[in-house]
Amino acid sequence: MELLNLTAVKLAEKIKAGEVSAVDAVQAVLAQIEKTEETYNCYVTIDREGALAEAERVQREIEAGNLTGPLAGVPVAIKDNMCTQGMLTTCSSKILGNFIPTFSSEAVVNLQKAGAIIIGKTNMDEFAMGSTTETSAFGATRNPWNDAHVPGGSSGGSAAAVAANECFYALGSDTGGSIRQPAGYCGVVGMKPTYGTVSRYGLIAYGSSLDQIGPLCKDVTDCATIMEVIASHDTKDSTSMPREDYNFTEALVDDVRGMKIGIPRDYFGEGLDPEVAAAVKAAAKVLEEKGAIVEEFDLDLVGYAIPTYYTIAAAEASSNLERFDGVKYGYRAEDADELHRMYKRTRSEGFGPEVKRRIMLGSFVLSSGYYDAYYLKALKVKALIKKAFDEAFAKYDIILGPVAPTTAPKLGESLSDPIKMYLGDIYTISVNLAGLPGICLPCGLDEKGLPIGLQLIGDCFAEKKLIQAAYTYEMARGAFEKPAGREE
């Protein structure tokens, strides 16, 4: 259907012009969900009635001239780790299987103020721990390009929903690549902003010092537009930072002349699929032809990023997830006759294996006698990684590389070997450790017809450079193909 193929910004323009209504848009999305959701399982919760009612309200506001923003009336999907007032928020975990928040996360509030209509909550790896969306307690999500493959993760439901036209755009969260990698696997655009740009208030924490909310969407224009709406300085989040400039759409300029782009040799070593390498290098060539100065360089410490990340993220997660104990909300084991048995059984039954693995890992690295050797050392390496990036950004405006070593693996291939799954995060996690912004956009298909993701990394607060380079590449690349498997 034509309407569904519109980008979020184009749809909003048509709504504003009175060519279609917000209700039409929601109905179109719900119709598409009817057709494809059974196959892809993008959502944990679909709020059909709520979305239609909200669409009617928003439509009236648009007609009354009260809602004039560039996303007014556009249906959005929200990753299920962001609190939505009155709407189930599960983190794809049994332990929060019945949890209905009393407040909405700040990013969601910002969207709603701009006239966004929430279709539902998207599936994810349980508590955002995973790279495939297979660790969800509510079943795996499948990749709309080929449903035998995973959509990536942890924001796999959001990425797949955008690719499957089950929404016009979505919010995801990125702790170690959880927006960028599924965007790459699903052939959509995903951005992880500089740490502190989008409020974490209402985002159910995984690794608090690494988590950032960001958009998953159809093109770079949508990405910049969504960023403008969700980014804000929020006094409810101590790590939220005021920025001088929120005009991300200003950077939608088709020009990279003189821009310095560095390609880390370390990102093209062992383990990288040759098809992915070729597509990413070809993308770099495109930017060079558009006037950018492209160079290869050595980015130190890449090899240390994975152990550092899994130490810090697991440590924080082990503490962040302590509050899920059956006392106040969520799942509680039945018939436990004593407090500690209730805790143990609730958490044993409520959490899945990957979450338990990371809680144990995190508890271990924080335990007395090991803290200095693991956690403290990881913090020191984190600081060194940041320094290595600082040095790189003294020379380059942007760092360019792949988002993942391969295209989307088949379902079931990754979980059997967690270490292999962790290694798949190699290109994305150092960005989180250094608090940097990163964007992923599709740059080709492999032989199997699966999308390949191009990742651009910027210095802190340099989202506009990323947007400009990504937009320029997108203009040169032309419209990206549609998923072959997607039912229309």
Q: Which is nearer to other proteins, 200 or 358 (CB)?
A: 200
Quote the least distance from Cβ 107 to other proteins, whole Å.
11
Question: Residue 282 burial by CB count (10 A; 0-12/13-18/19+): exposed, middle or buried?
Answer: middle
Q: Which is nearer to other proteins, 352 or 401 (CB)?
A: 352
Positions touching other proteins (CB under 8 A) are 82-83, 89, 91, 96, 99, 101-103, 105, 200-205, 207-209, 235-239, 315-316, 318-319, 322-325, 327-329, 339-340, 343, 363, 366-368, 371, 375
Catalytic residue chosen out of the listed positions 178, 199, 240, 318: 178
Q: Which is nearer to other proteins, 87 or 443 (CB)?
A: 87
- Residue 109 is encoded by which pair of tokens? 């509030």
Quote the least distance from Cβ 205 to other proteins, whole Å.
8
Q: Which is nearer to other proteins, 323 or 395 (CB)?
A: 323
Q: Across the chain, which distance is largest between two alpha carbons, in Å?
A: 70
- Residue 55 is encoded by which pair of tokens? 């669409």
H helix and E strand count, the chain = 15, 11
Quote the least distance from Cβ 299 to other proteins, whole Å.
25
Catalytic residue chosen out of the listed positions 21, 79, 92, 199: 79
- Strand, helix or coil for residue 443: strand
Residue 438 near residue 183, CB atoms below 8 Å: no
- Other C-beta atoms closer than 10 Å to the C-beta of 257 total 9
Quote the least distance from Cβ 388 to other proteins, whole Å.
22
- Residue 164 is encoded by which pair of tokens? 């499957």
Q: Which is nearer to other proteins, 127 or 248 (CB)?
A: 127
- Strand, helix or coil for residue 98: coil
Q: Mind giving me the DSSP string for 272-331?
A: --HHHHHHHHHHHHHHHHTT-EEEEE--TTGGGHHHHHHHHHHHHHHHHGGG-SSSSSS-
Q: Which is nearer to other proteins, 337 or 447 (CB)?
A: 337
- Residue 444 is encoded by which pair of tokens? 């080709």
Q: Which is nearer to other proteins, 257 or 328 (CB)?
A: 328
Beta-carbon contacts of 282 under 8 Å, excluding residues fewer than 6 positions away, are: 443, 444
79 part of the active site: yes
155 part of the active site: no
- Residue 332 is encoded by which pair of tokens? 């509680």
Quote the least distance from Cβ 369 to other proteins, whole Å.
9
Catalytic residue chosen out of the listed positions 21, 104, 131, 154: 154
154 part of the active site: yes
Quote the least distance from Cβ 133 to other proteins, whole Å.
20
Give Rg (Cα) of the chain.
21
Distance between CA atoms of 65 and 246, rounded to whole angstroms? 24
Element (H, E) at 388: helix 377-395
Name residue 67's amino acid: L
Quote the least distance from Cβ 82 to other proteins, whole Å.
7
Sign of torsion, CA 127 129 131 137?
negative
Active site residues: 79, 154, 178
